[in-house]
Amino acid sequence: MDIKLQQVGYAYAKDTPFEKRALVDVNLHIPSGSYHAIIGHTGSGKSTLLQHLNALLKPSEGTVIIGDLAIQAGKKVKNLKPVRQKIGIVFQFPEHQLFDETVLKDIMFGPLNFGVSKEEAEKRARVLVEQLGLPEDVLHKSPFDLSGGQMRRVAIAGVLAMEPSVLVLDEPTAGLDPRGRLEIMDLFHKLHVDKGLTTILVTHSMEDAARYADRVAIMHEGQCVLSGDPIDIFGNEERLAEFRLAAPRVVRFQREFEALLGYPLPKLCVTEEQLAEEIARVVQGERESI
Ligand SMILES: Nc1ncnc2c1ncn2[C@@H]1O[C@H](COP(=O)(O)OP(=O)(O)OP(=O)(O)O)[C@@H](O)[C@H]1O
């Protein structure tokens, strides 16, 4: 399902003395099956933007196109349910939205609400608990008796149980320790690869964007100021600096290595694995030339 934002503007408390313009003329194309990172400082409009992706917010200006549904400023849309079912949002600290008596009931809530049978909803819950690395016995526990990391996984399972075709992640690892962060981010990446799930990651982390995304958009003061291939965006450090952003660590490390070497590497690397390969190739070449 392709998503397009065309000249989208959004103002909170529009036409009141408290009006706050949070999005200004945003144009963005999120192709089906891509892994898109949306990066920006706090207050740049990332959360406002992602709430347009399943019509929790409707644009004050412009058009949001989700699959074959166009949501246009000032026009009513009849039925948003199919879109809400297809676009799963993992909000910041999703465990705050857990509410049911047991983990099983909590995960089944969404699918049941959208008309999935009880048997199918339970089957999905059991599969997801396993996929998310939770022990089977959590199913009958209260979500509030679990650790923070386990609660986070249960909340994520609740979103995945709807079988969305687009997954929107708003800082999904905020507050987790480094190991928990890596496990969850790797899991989302695996889902993206195995199921072809379009993934939209809202993050402050250039590192996460570089590691996982195949498209990057930079938000600044409500505008989408850069979007495209990570190599083009992360390689343009001057342009990033205009928006008070530094390139990911791996790119900065490559620049330092190139300064020592005295010449640039043939290609810019955005993951540690790519850089390690490039360096190994250069070292091999240098050895052979001795
Ligand atoms: N409910 C609201 N009412 C009024 N203004 C709001 C509201 N929510 C957000 N804003 C303002 O809109 C702008 C964009 O906020 P938004 O939450 O989209 O930014 P963000 O990039 O997601 O920030 P963060 O990284 O801190 O979550 C900010 O100036 C913010 O203060």
Q: In the prediction, which pLDDT does 74 show?
A: 87
> Is 22 touching ligand 1 by the criterion CB < 6 Å?
yes
> Is 51 touching ligand 1 by the criterion CB < 6 Å?
no
Band of residue 151 on the pLDDT scale cut at 50, 70, 90? confident
Distance CA 71, CA 75 (A): 7
Q: In the prediction, which pLDDT does 159 show?
A: 92
Question: What residues contact 177, with CB distance under 8 A and at least 6 apart?
Answer: 149
* Ligand 1 atom 18 nearest Cα: 45
The pTM assigned to this predicted structure is 0.90
CATH of domain 3-247: 3.40.50.300
Q: In the prediction, which pLDDT does 193 show?
A: 93
- What strand order describes the sheet that includes 20-30? 20-30, 3-12, 61-66, 69-72
Q: In the prediction, which pLDDT does 204 show?
A: 87
* Distance from residue 100's CA to the centre of ligand 1 (Å): 29
> Is 20 touching ligand 1 by the criterion CB < 6 Å?
yes
The residue extents of the domains of the chain are 3-247, 248-290
* Distance from residue 20's CA to the centre of ligand 1 (Å): 9
Q: In the prediction, which pLDDT does 36 show?
A: 96
For residue 6, the SS3 value is strand
As for the ipTM of the complex, it is 0.97
* Interval 213-262: pLDDT, tens: 999 999 999 999 999 999 999 999 999 999 999 999 999 999 999 999 89
